[in-house]
Amino acid sequence: MESWHVNRAALLAGAAAWLAAAGIPAGAAEPAGAGVTADAALERLQAGNARFATGNLEHVSNLEERRVALAGGQSPYATILTCSDSRTPPELIFDETIGDLFVVRIAGNYVTSDTLATIEYGFGNLGSNLLLVMGHANCGAVKATYDSIKTKTPLPPHLNAISDAIGPGIASIVHENGSLEAAIKANVRAQVTAAAKRSTALAQGVASGKLKIAGATYNLEKGKVTLL
């Protein structure tokens, strides 16, 4: 533990020296970080997505100094639980950069013990007061689960882990012949509920008003994120 503190101090000192040599003011490359309220974090995400959807990106430069400045620690202002789909990178979708977002990605954006552990770490240790569960249009994981329920054909190992996690939240949609889009939204809502239900730490955060858990979907064509 002692050696970690020494290394961290050295990294911070080195970063400060590099910034000074480059003529960059101390703290110029730091993210908003811990202390940002959940509501403020959500507003920042929405503003960033609006820039992304219109092609007016702001955070596309200064990556080198950002990387060096954050070498000693991180304080992301929001946690994003989203799909592993290659078309849904949160840092781009919300026009953010290194150190701003604590991202958890898994096909189907669903809650597991592992993803919960990561989310709890973001909230309890890094000060991220917003959890956004973000699904997306044409999600292959949700479609595979939808089709599996519809045809009563189990998915093969290890893909069945996806349908086991997503299935309960979308089963009623499938049985009512609802659309894939409806199932995608239902899955997001189910995972929002599951996050607080399965985690005492997150539930306490929500109850205290410090943590907010929100759901959203992402439109692949338009690049827009819509809150549910």
Length of the chain in terms of residues written: 228
Look up tokens 């202002």; give the residue. 77
Per-residue pLDDT tens, the chain, 228 aa: give them. 333 333 444 434 444 443 344 333 444 444 456 679 999 999 999 999 999 999 999 876 678 888 898 999 999 999 999 999 999 999 999 999 999 999 999 999 999 999 999 999 999 999 999 999 999 999 999 999 999 999 999 999 999 999 999 999 999 999 999 999 999 999 999 999 999 999 999 999 999 999 999 999 999 999 999 999
Tell me how crowded residue 118 is: count the other CB atoms within 10 A of its CB: 16
Tell me how crowded residue 216 is: count the other CB atoms within 10 A of its CB: 23
The two three-digit tokens of residue 107, written as one number: 């096909």
pTM attached to this predicted model: 0.84
Please report the pLDDT score of residue 35 as a whole number: 76
Domains of the chain: 33-60+73-227 (3.40.1050.10)
Backbone phi, psi, residue 62, to 5°: 60, 30
